[in-house]
């Protein structure tokens, strides 16, 4: 069964850090661009970051630039999202998704992503 599983979410104070992981089972991530998306209550799901299949290209939404870092370890079949300087407005369910077409990920086109995880909740609050 092809699955993406996110982990690492939780409650963190403003200014704190978290590292999210996205692990694949049933398939290898080597050939997929991986994106992180998030959805806050009452809002649409939005793109956060994307990394190309080899890891050579990354891109970020403006609202996380300089605070979040995406990386991947294909040997571990896992992609990471290091989040720092977290703000209350970062509170959301974070999803990872895999795309065979790199541009779908780079442009944060939800409809172009082939596989989705079920998400992990990040709450930023004092």
**Series of mean pLDDT values for 10-residue runs along the chain (126 residues):** 94 98 93 97 96 94 97 95 98 97 90 95 98
pLDDT at 24: 93
pLDDT at 14: 98
pLDDT at 2: 86
pLDDT at 1: 79
pLDDT at 10: 98
Distant-in-sequence, close-in-space partners of 110: CB < 8 Å, separation ≥ 6: 37, 45, 47, 97
Secondary structure element (H or E) that encloses residue 103, with its range: helix 102-106
Cα gap 94→41, rounded to integer Å: 12
Q: Are 19 and 81 in contact (CB under 8 A)?
A: yes
Dihedral angle sign, alpha carbons of residues 83, 67, 34, 123: positive
Q: Are 96 and 33 in contact (CB under 8 A)?
A: no
């Amino acid at each position: 069964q092809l699955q993406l599983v996110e982990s690492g979410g939780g409650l963190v104070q403003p200014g704190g850090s978290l590292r999210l992981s996205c692990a694949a089972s049933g398939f290898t991530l080597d050939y997929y661009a991986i994106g992180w998306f998030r959805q806050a209550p009452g809002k649409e799901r939005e793109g956060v970051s994307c990394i190309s299949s080899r890891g050579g290209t990354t891109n970020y939404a403006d609202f996380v630039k300089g605070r979040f870092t995406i990386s991947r370890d294909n040997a571990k079949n896992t992609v990471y999202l290091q989040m720092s300087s977290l703000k209350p407005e970062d509170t959301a369910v974070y999803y990872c998704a895999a795309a065979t077409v790199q541009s779908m990920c780079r442009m944060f086109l939800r409809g172009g992503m082939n596989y989705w995880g079920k998400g992990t909740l990040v709450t930023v609050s004092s």
